[in-house]
Amino acid sequence: MPQETPKKRKRIPPENRRFAVYSRRLRDLREDHGLNQKDVGRYLGVSQRAYGDYELGNTHIVVEDLVKLASLYDVTLDYICGLTAIRRPFPGTRPGPKIDPASLKSDPAK
C-alpha cells in the first residue's frame, strides 16, 4: 500500500500572523462544537500539532481543509475567513453525507 505524503505547511512570519483571522474562528467553532484539536486534526488527516498551528496562525491552512471545516461546522468560508460576522449555512451540496461534529469526539476511555 503506497504511503501518503504529508501535507506541506507554510510557516507564517510573526509580523503577518495578525492577518490570519481564520485562526480565531477555527478555535471558536471547534470549542462551540465540543471538539478538541486532536479530533479535528484526525478529521482533516493532520496531526494535533499541525491543527494547533492552524489555530495559532503559525501556518496557513490549505483551502481543501477550510472547505471541509466549513462543511463540518455548517458555516460559510466567508465566516471562517472573517469576511462576515454572520454565520450562514454552508452553501450548496455537500460532498457525501453530513458529518455530525459530535461523532468526531475521542473516546475518553482510550
pLDDT classification of 13: cutoffs 50, 70, 90: low
H helical segments located in the chain:
22-32, 37-44, 48-56, 63-73, 77-80
**In the chain, domain spans:** 14-89
CATH architecture of the domain 14-89 equals Orthogonal Bundle (1.10)
Cβ 39 vs Cβ 106: under 8 Å = yes
Q: What is the CA radius of gyration of the chain?
A: 14
In this prediction, residue 47 carries a pLDDT of: 95
The per-residue pLDDT for range 48-74, each reduced to its tens digit, is 999 999 998 888 888 999 999 998 999
In this prediction, residue 109 carries a pLDDT of: 53
